[in-house]
Structure 1
Amino acid sequence: MHDAELCQLAVNSMIRTILFLSTSSGPGGAERVISNLAASLDPRRYRAILCLFRPGWLKERSESCGIRTFVLPTQGMTDWRWAIQFKRLLRQEQVDVIHAHEFDANVQGACVAALSGIPLVATVHGKNYYWERLRRRLAYRWVSRRATMVAVSEDLKQFIVEKVGIPTSRVKVLYNGVDVLPQCTPAEVVECRKELGLPEDHQIVGVVGNLYPVKGHQYLIEAIPAVLKTCPNTSFVFAGRGQLESELKAQACRLGVDERVHFLGLRQDIPRILAMLDLFVLPSLSEGLSMAILEAMISGKPVVATQVGGNPELVINEETGFLVPPRDSQALGDKLIVSLTNTQQSADFAERGKRRAEGLFSLRSMVSSYQSLYDQCLKSEG
């Protein structure tokens, strides 16, 4: 069936078209949320399509899930040519709701949505830099009056209210959700260790995240020498790519721990990597609501994370894991040692964390919440 016929079928059967508009093409947590949400909408009620400013991981991931994807390059908020193209796309695809993600998409999407009379949901995934300049704060205040604004954690909502000056009543909180990850057999875990050259008798500590300054990897590496003094049979894996890779490798070399630190680059087999870990760590300096932590929790892994952003809303300190101050390598190292040496406590944390993720942060719960929000937007427009 041709796209035009699918579009007309959607209209005739009252299936609503939701267009997802993303600032970034990833890979990253927000991008995984977008692709998972778009692919999981009830097909009896919604048709999902995606529009990006540039091609990349998110385009490939979404198209592999059968989501029709468009790429409209933009020169920024004043790019009127993009606005004309985007408005044409909305009309061509008979879009009912725009769901934009992050600053540029939220602002540019809101401008065209206002001109087109289409409701817009604007999701904010992180603190980033949009609040630092008056022009950007004013832009987000404008968006909040013309869109349904969503923050992915209570901490992020409070930040938006305080730093941007948006009334609390205009910001909803909808948590990210994660699906149950594919299970790996013990044989697959052993094979993964062999592929990565990890000793069979080592405990494995891992972090998943792009190698950017905000992820705080340097503080984890700084903590490794102290950890190895108490737990010498430990290896560390870093799954992700980014601008700091060479710098982090040099730091590990200077500290004499480079043989215990393994940089894996961008991985397409994160469930396999998580299955191999004894302990998951996230030393971030800022977070919205971490998909990496959620995936570790639902995989049944104990977590040590920094007490930033929405992390305390995921990890209950000393109940489902440990929280430590950001930029504190000593505190981070101390909790890594406790987790590695007290295996029964870590197993208890992991079990409680898994139940918490399955109960409060499931993909099904997130999809249901957003579908209800789309319905509210459509009802208010009607």
Structure 2
Amino acid sequence: MTAPLIVHLTYRLDFGGLETLLIERINRMPASAYRHAVVALTHYTDFARKISKPDVEVYALDKQPGLSLGTHAALFKLLRRLKPAILHTYNLAAIEYAPVALLAGVPVRVNGLHGRDAADPEGRNPKHKVLRQLMLPFYDHCYANSGDMLAWNRQVIGVPEHKSSLLANGIDAERFRPLAADEQRPDFGFGPACRVIGTVGRVQDVKDHATLVDAFALLRARLPGEAAALRLAIVGDGPLLPALREKVRALGLEGLVWLPGARYDVPEILRGFDVYAISSIAEGTPGSVLEAMASGLPAVGTRVGGVPEVIAEGITGQLVPPRDPSAMADALAPYLRAPELTAAHGAAGRARVLSHYSMPAMVAGYQALYDSLLERKTPFRKPIKSCVE
């Protein structure tokens, strides 16, 4: 019997935390349980090559700005041809396509809340709220990847408890690990004596990398004795990368800030950092922070979304207000002055990931959700054993 097909609908398939974990789940879910296809509303890049499972088709609908009714029609035709059992849409950008899936005969429709846009970091946009509420009857389940987002879904949008759940992110703690005692620290051109503050993520407005650059400039001014050894690494591609490079140049930080664009050796890069920083103005559960913690790094992050659920303040890192370079610089400084604090918070962070954010648990959680919804919506389907049984 052919395994049911899941179509994953996302705005773009490119370098990013949501996309990385989407591909991890596809690669790790047993082939006997589900088949997968990925549909990008706009486009996909070489990042799609990270899908290692065979026979996973990737499609792009080339959506234009605005309503783009043609995209609805194109998705309808594609769903009619693919005949998936489940449509899994991600975030607000894809939420409006559940009615199309219903008309195309897709039995189960799921939406995942993984974060918000920079234009509406706190979820206050009334048009977005109305759209989510209008789409709610068309979905069988609306999960969130952080407790903050789950509470917002229930209290603000009105998602019933029986149609909502928390599905936490998971991290591969074997790939993302601390530097071993007998390993040489990766350099990437920084120099062996340098202290590196690093971050990984798509360079877009919601990540607010400009604040991190400003914090780095302040930190160098506040720590004149350490300034010569300080470096900043911002790894990732995105629409604001040229502007960020220009900002670095204007501040006279060329040669001190590494902006390599998208990289596919992130686990190795993280092992070359001393401390991790995330300056986002909105987040779900930030997978990049979990990867850094799994790599034994202390983390300094903004107090937004699910970040405080990940970073235990004073234990695995520090929390600061968003859009506050001065507070970010103050929180980073102790890790550059006290190696013993860096090591202690880094070790505590890895222990937290191992106990709370297991990759097998994440995959099993998603599969269990798919199984339960399909068994309810298609009662004659034979139940599938969970991948953790």
TM-score range, shorter chain: 0.7 to 0.9
Structure 1: 5+ residue stretches without partners: 1-8
Structure 2: 5+ residue stretches without partners: 380-389
1:172 — aligned with what?
165
Is residue 2:119 matched to residue 1:145?
A: no
Q: Distance in 1 between matches of 2:205 and 2:274?
A: 25
- Aligned residue among 158, 165, 169 for 2:151: 158
1:4 — aligned with what?
none
2:48 — aligned with what?
60
1:101 — aligned with what?
90
1:261-283 C-alpha deviation (Å, 9 max, x unpaired) = 22121111111110111111111
Q: Distance in 1 between matches of 2:143 and 2:373?
A: 13
CA shift in 2, pair 1:213/1:79, >3 Å: closer
> CA offset at residue 89 of structure 1?
3.6
- Normalised by the length of structure 1, the TM-score is 0.86
2:360 — aligned with what?
364
Is residue 2:196 matched to residue 1:208?
A: no
1:70 — aligned with what?
59
Count of aligned residue pairs for this structure pair: 367
Is residue 2:255 matched to residue 1:259?
A: yes
1:333-373 C-alpha deviation (Å, 9 max, x unpaired) = 11111111121122111111112112211221111111110
Is residue 2:299 matched to residue 1:303?
A: yes
- Aligned residue among 308, 314, 323 for 1:312: 308
2:385 — aligned with what?
none
2:210 — aligned with what?
218
2:341 — aligned with what?
345
2:266 — aligned with what?
270
Q: Distance in 1 between matches of 2:356 and 2:103?
A: 34
State the identity as a percent: 25
CA shift in 2, pair 1:63/1:200, >3 Å: closer
1:106 aligned counterpart, secondary structure: helix
> CA offset at residue 213 of structure 1?
2.5
> CA offset at residue 313 of structure 1?
0.8
1:329 — aligned with what?
325
1:237 — aligned with what?
233
2:172 aligned counterpart, secondary structure: coil
Is residue 2:34 matched to residue 1:41?
A: no
Q: Distance in 2 between matches of 1:75 and 1:112?
A: 20
1:258 aligned counterpart, secondary structure: coil
- Normalised by the length of structure 2, the TM-score is 0.85
Q: Distance in 2 between matches of 1:80 and 1:187?
A: 58
Q: Which amino acid is the alignment partner of residue 371 of structure 2?
A: D
1:355 — aligned with what?
351
1:24 — aligned with what?
12
Q: Is the 8 A contact 1:21 1:109 kept in 2?
A: no
Q: Which amino acid is the alignment partner of residue 210 of structure 1?
A: R
2:165 aligned counterpart, secondary structure: strand
Q: Distance in 2 between matches of 1:336 and 1:38?
A: 36
Q: Which amino acid is the alignment partner of residue 260 of structure 1?
A: L
CA shift in 2, pair 1:245/1:19, >3 Å: closer
Q: Is the 8 A contact 1:17 1:95 kept in 2?
A: yes
1:150 aligned counterpart, secondary structure: strand
Q: Which amino acid is the alignment partner of residue 198 of structure 1?
A: F
1:234-258 C-alpha deviation (Å, 9 max, x unpaired) = 1111111233334333433444433
